[in-house]
A and B are shown apart, each in its own frame.
Chain A
């Protein structure tokens, strides 16, 4: 059974940092790009970042570039999102997801990040 389990969310003050983790199982983690997608409560979906299978390529949403870093540990089947200089508009549910263009897709259940003083 495929599972993606996020952790690390929580309440943080503006300007603070958080590190999200995603533990993957049930599929070959290193076979495909991995992604972070976020959703502001009651709002739509926003693709935040993704990383190539070997970690050599990363892409970021403009609004998070320079503040967020996506990384992966293929040996541990884990995906990470290091977030710095957090702002109120980063408040969202953050999903770890495997979203290939044509093959099967998988989503985690999401972890909530709240940026507030």
Chain B
């Protein structure tokens, strides 16, 4: 299975400051169709997860532009340019290139 390793697991941040979460895969998650199916999800307390980013860097509809994704191959990053109070929660990366699809352990963003 592809192991997704996130760091840090806990990220204290100050309002208005940037934040960055790393996700590394144990093998390349580039699909045979040349796309990289690496997504980022946000889960606020008591809520179901919500996807923010797909195929590494594409923002989902309605996602603020302070969220951005980057990376390639096995190394990926989610960045928040200026953290707002509503960003508190747990963030997960997901690879959906190879079955079984696998999530990272989650990074708790604490404001």
Contact = CB atoms under 8 A, between A and B. Distances in A.
Given A101-B96, A104-B60, A108-B48, A46 B103 contact: yes
Given A45-B41, A102-B54, A108-B48, 14 more contacts: A44-B92, A44-B103, A45-B106, A47-B102, A47-B103, A61-B100, A99-B51, A99-B96, A101-B39, A101-B54, A101-B55, A102-B55, A102-B58, A110-B48
A13 interface: no
Given A107-B49, A108-B48, A101 B99 contact: no
Nearest to B51: A105
Chain A binding surface SS class: loop
28 contacts: A44-B92, A44-B103, A44-B105, A44-B106, A45-B41, A45-B43, A45-B92, A45-B103, A45-B106, A46-B103, A47-B100, A61-B100, A95-B48, A99-B51, A99-B96, A101-B35, A101-B37, A101-B39, A102-B54, A102-B55, A102-B58, A104-B61, A105-B50, A105-B51, A105-B60, A107-B49, A109-B48, A110-B48
